[in-house]
């Protein structure tokens, strides 16, 4: 998954690109740090430190690589530095345990990224009307009954259409993932 960095020396474009990448991956990065540092206050501080470190090292980021993996790698080293700073006697987990958790989270994140891309591809295969109805339903601002009424469709017919569309997307995702 390539995430291209603007090639021009334009500082504003570089900053915007960094912020777009960071916002796209930030939730997973925060979750990753929280799995390694169970204290919320310390984790929050580490998240801030990691953001700063990511910005400082952004010139070293290879745009042909995955920003999420790169950012989690930097976060992992921030956590190791944190553990040294607080001292091993205050650390709740062994280094081996932390490494194991970090590897598992990285694998799960990669799998989630793969599933997300596959889901997006399968949604794009739906016709525009199916995709629009599904997205409207999953926005969660209206009930299925409200959407059916606004479209002038009987509730039961609309419910069946949603179920058929979800089933088609599920089959598409499963088939695509099996093919990998």
Residues 89 and 134 in one domain: no
Confidence tier at 1 by pLDDT (50, 70, 90)? very low
Q: In the predicted model, is pLDDT for residue 147 greater than 60? A: yes
pTM: 0.49
Torsion, CA 161, CA 163, CA 165, CA 171, rounded to 10: -150
Enclosing domain of residue 29: 1-109
3-state helix vs strand vs coil in the chain, percent to 5: 80, 0, 20
> Which two tokens mark 117?
């891309």
Residues 137 and 105 in one domain: no
Q: How many domains does the chain have?
A: 2
98 touches 83 (CB < 8 A) = yes
Q: Is residue 136 part of a domain?
A: yes
Dihedral-angle region of residue 67 (phi above 0 means left; psi in -120 to 50 means alpha; beta otherwise): alpha
């Amino acid at each position: 998954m390539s995430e291209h960095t603007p090639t021009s020396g334009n500082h504003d474009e570089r900053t915007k690109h960094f912020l777009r990448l960071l916002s796209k991956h930030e939730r997973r990065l925060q979750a990753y740090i929280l799995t390694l540092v169970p204290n919320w206050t310390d984790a929050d501080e580490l998240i801030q430190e990691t953001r700063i470190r990511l910005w400082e090292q952004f010139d070293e980021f290879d745009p042909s690589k995955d920003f999420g993996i790169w950012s989690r790698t930097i976060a992992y080293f921030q956590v190791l530095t944190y553990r040294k700073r607080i001292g091993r006697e205050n650390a709740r987990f062994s280094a081996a345990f932390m490494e194991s958790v970090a590897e598992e989270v990285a694998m799960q994140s990669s799998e989630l990224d793969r599933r997300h891309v596959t889901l997006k591809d399968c949604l794009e295969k739906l016709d525009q009307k199916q995709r629009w109805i599904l997205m409207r339903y999953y926005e969660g601002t209206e009930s299925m009954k409200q959407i059916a009424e606004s479209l002038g469709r009987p509730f039961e017919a609309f419910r069946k259409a949603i179920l058929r569309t979800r089933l088609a997307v599920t089959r598409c995702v499963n088939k695509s993932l099996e093919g990998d």
